[in-house]
Chains A and B, each alone.
Chain A
């Protein structure tokens, strides 16, 4: 009994330490975003600012078009998510529930695709888009991510667990294969869809690598790309507004996660449909 309590206390402390370690940079960001410039570079470390400098947020919103960057982020992320769902859900359904010759080979290619980092293919894609004169456009930001092998894989695993007779029943009821995908398979896998949407949106909302390569026009800069304009304009010293800007662009993601937390965890943990 006592031993049980000790173990629980120890494990709770270990978990709290882990959580603190993970959250520290985040609190550091909040702290800096609220500090006046003279407090940021001091010798002693303090997490709480002496004076709360709200003006950092005012500077962040006014000195660069932050609203525009957020808008671009929404356009790019929803565009990417739309096409990823449009292509990976039917593809996953075919791989999971249809019989055809190249099925195993194609699934193997999907798995292999999971192992190839985007950085490897970035240069050929960049050259291709340059040839097509598509650089510096929303197309350049969305097109390379229009398909997602991760999405195909995630949905395939989900669909493969669904009972075959469900799809047979739908065929008997007169649904085409397309209708089965959108009316039966997808609605039954919304935990997976939520998880996938969160993975996809966070990855592309936070992505700096590709926007940096493919765009230079501030008018289509995504949030992380836009944040860089602080450095350009203020010679890299204005940390307070920079962190305030970072706060503003991460806030939507955190809100999104908090809203979808339950479904997200269900989608990742079980990937399962009630038997």
Chain B
């Protein structure tokens, strides 16, 4: 597997979490490498936030253990784990100014309860000098995040993007070992989201700390992360680099989820592997002809080719600018179920045809994914792909 660094900041060992009788996380084992940007990607409701709360120590697993640097931290409160968290709703304290919001974690960590008492905090000199030191650091962080002029505002007086920065500042100020971000950009408008994406990536590079970034948006995960944990129904169904998720999906669920345009799946009938069939036409051969298989081909990997093995009538054309999505009703041929459809993304410059025209499409053999029809698992052995 890929090398993400030597030590794991955070690990789950066979963690499950039940609320009442519903099991939200099922036997989850994972590790977060130090210094890496890890995305937890999955549709909403799959248990991403629950996972993050377990990492933070805001919630306890029903079974299994949570470790940091190999040591069990189940008994440790969030502050003791030295993690920072950015919430989807930002969760800023509405009654405190920007400066006080950012300063609160430091104040709690570095002053005693006695020094924080209302009167003592004003008049004790030790408390005052500590506060001055904290405020200096808060100011530095605020400058870095372009919040320098807003230190005395209340969160209610800030725009969404500024609130987001304050939330990041509050996470940053205590120099945590692990940053947890729960869909931090989902409340921003599209333009700001793209800008904040690159700012967060820059922040990760600058701090060199481990980031765990929860999102349901695959473009965010693919674009920012070193590594993606793809979650579905309380399980991690694939764990790898964005590239490996795209190029080597382990099953049809991953294959269907990852990618800008959803993958075409062609269910093959028995005997599809024989000579003259579609299977052979695509340049594939198989050592076990009894296997039931499903082919997966991404629309962007199909191309117009007069000799291509996939042919049929154009049913629908969608012009997308530089590219055009065409939907094809495939003609009968050996191994293919009748009524199979195929979506293909081709360069708009190459579309001289219209509805009802017959065309041929081709695909490089190495870009065809082969899955077992029953389980949906990727078939790794016994498939030969012509060069």
Contacts and interface: CB of A to CB of B under 8 A. Distances in A.
Interface stretch (A69-77, A111-119, A162-170, A253-261): A162-170
B105 A174 contact: yes
B131 to A, nearest CB: 15
B89 A163 contact: yes
Contact of A166 (B53, B78, B93): B93
Interface string B330-374: 000000000000000000000000000000000000000000000
A188 B83 CA distance: 26
B152 interface: no
A168 B79 CA distance: 11
Interface in B87-118: 87-89, 91-95, 104-105, 108-109
Interface string B154-179: 00100000000000001000000000
Nearest to B180: A172
Contacts of B222: none
A64 interface: no
B91 A174 contact: no
Contacts of B83: 172
Contact of B87 (A168, A174, A175, A184): A168
A171 B180 CA distance: 14
B91 A168 contact: yes
Contact of B85 (A172, A184, A188, A273): A172
Given A165-B87, A165-B89, A172 B58 contact: yes
Nearest to B167: A169
Contacts of B297: none
Interface residues of B, number: 23
Contact of A173 (B79, B88, B95): B79
A168 B58 contact: yes
A187 interface: yes
A173 B108 contact: yes
B114 to A, nearest CB: 13
B56 A184 contact: no
B128 interface: no
A179 interface: yes
A173 B156 contact: no
Nearest to B110: A174
Contacts of A172: 56, 58, 78-79, 83-85, 105
Contact of B53 (A168, A179, A184, A188): A168
Interface of A: 163, 165-166, 168-175, 179, 184, 187-188, 273-274
8 contacts: A165-B89, A165-B91, A166-B93, A169-B170, A171-B58, A173-B105, A188-B95, A274-B94
